[in-house]
């Protein structure tokens, strides 16, 4: 994916993950983008382990779903540690 695609998917996934996750999170729009990008990396890694193929291929529904799941996992781990 290009840098612009990572930012767009990161923003969408980060906002959706912040909306779904029950605890409030800070960081604003930049925090949502970073969360979504981290979620795309985590979700892409986990989906690659399970499905044996690259699931982060561009701006599409499959990538956004994988990124949101990864962002939720990252939020859960972050809040469990801190």
Q: Could you please report the per-residue DSSP string of the chain?
A: --HHHHHHHHHHHHHHHHHHSSS----HHHHHHHHHHHHHHHHHHHHHHHHSS----SSSHHHHHHHHHHHHHHHHHHHHH-
* Percent of the chain residues past pLDDT 90, beyond the cut: 0
pLDDT digits (tens, 9 = 90+) for 42-70: 888 888 888 877 767 778 888 888 889 98
What pTM was computed for the model?
A: 0.84
pLDDT confidence of residue 1 = 63
Out of 9-13, 25-29, 59-63, 75-79, pick the least confident. Answer: 25-29
Mean pLDDT estimate for the chain: 84
């Amino acid at each position: 994916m290009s840098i612009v695609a990572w930012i767009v998917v990161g923003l969408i996934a980060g906002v959706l993950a912040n909306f779904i996750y029950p605890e409030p999170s800070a960081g604003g729009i930049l925090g949502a983008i970073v969360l979504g990008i981290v979620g795309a990396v985590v979700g892409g890694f986990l989906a690659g382990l399970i499905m044996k193929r690259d699931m982060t291929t561009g701006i599409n529904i499959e990538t956004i779903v994988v990124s949101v799941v990864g962002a939720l996992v990252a939020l859960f781990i972050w809040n469990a540690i801190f």
